[in-house]
Amino acid sequence: LNYQPIVNLDDEKVQGVEALLRWNHPTRGTVMPDRFIPLAEQTGLIVPIGRWVLREACTQVMRWRREHPDTSPRTIAVNLSVRQLHDPRLLEDVADALSASGLDPQCLTLEITESMLIEETDRGSRALDQLKAMKVKVAIDDFGTGYSSLSYLRRFPVDTIKIDRSFVAEMETNPTSEALVRAVVDIAKSRDVTTVAEGGENAEQKPKLAS
């Protein structure tokens, strides 16, 4: 697992991290997830892999807290696949990861994609409701690249919207991207939803993202 920092723009501190899976292959080196996640999805291996990721990510945050109590990130975000969302053991897996690590459920964010909300199934939406009942946070990942339907923001109370990196990267050169980013930040703010800009690269982006 690699950990990507999520920085709070108010105080510029790392407030959380996102756990990102890489495969350290003996001969191919670091294999990126776009090369192996689709296969893991197809074969169903994503479920046991995802279970391991959840537990390892929660454990790592608690390890950091013990070792670096003053500077440790507070929250951890873990990506969830559609297979996991529909897996009957998901709730159990999340509860196990939290109890084994001792992490507070409010410090765990599960990231789901827009398409997972669109393909709303009974099991999927029930799982999301149950996660919310456990006080786990839910984020929409890569917002803007899928259907970006505003109706699911109404239907389902997400805690965080992660604005896709392509909009963030284009903000400086494309006024439309900048306007879209602002609009999403404003909507989120009015609903008490947190926004995360993916792939922030430089200081010039900061005033455009701060609310």
Radius of gyration of the chain (CA): 17
Segment lying near Mn ion (by CB under 5 A), choices 46-54, 63-71, 94-102, 139-147: 139-147
> Residue 164, interface with Mn ion (CB under 5 A)?
no
**Residue 141 Cβ vs Mn ion, minimum distance, rounded to whole Å:** 4
Is-contact 139 174, C-beta < 8 A?
Answer: no
Answer for the pair 156, 140: CB distance below 8 angstroms, yes or no.
no
93 binds Mn ion (CB under 5 A): no
Binding residue for Mn ion, selected from 93, 111, 114, 164, defined by CB under 5 A: 111
Please, which residue, 113 or 190, has the CB nearer to Mn ion? Answer: 113
Inter-residue contact 114 to 83 (CB < 8 Å) = no
**160 contacts Mn ion (rule: CB under 5 A):** no
Question: Largest Cα–Cα distance of the chain, in whole Å?
Answer: 50
141 touches Mn ion (CB under 5 A): yes
Alpha carbons within 13 angstroms on the beta-carbon side of residue 80 total: 31
Decide whether 79 or 101 has the Cβ nearer to Mn ion. 79
Stretch that binds Mn ion, among 36-44, 51-59, 75-83, 87-95 (CB under 5 A): 75-83
The smaller minimum CB distance to Mn ion, of residues 6 and 90, is found at 6
CA distances from 5 to 49, 54, 86, 134, 186 (A): 22, 17, 28, 25, 23
Nearest-CA neighbor of 79 among 120, 110, 47?
A: 110
From 2-10, 57-65, 90-98, 133-141, give the range in contact with Mn ion by CB under 5 A.
133-141
Rounded Cα–Cα distance for residues 19 and 15 (Å): 14
Nearer to Mn ion, 102 or 200 (CB): 200
79 scored as a contact of Mn ion (CB under 5 A): yes
Contact residues toward Mn ion (CB under 5 A) are 79, 111, 141
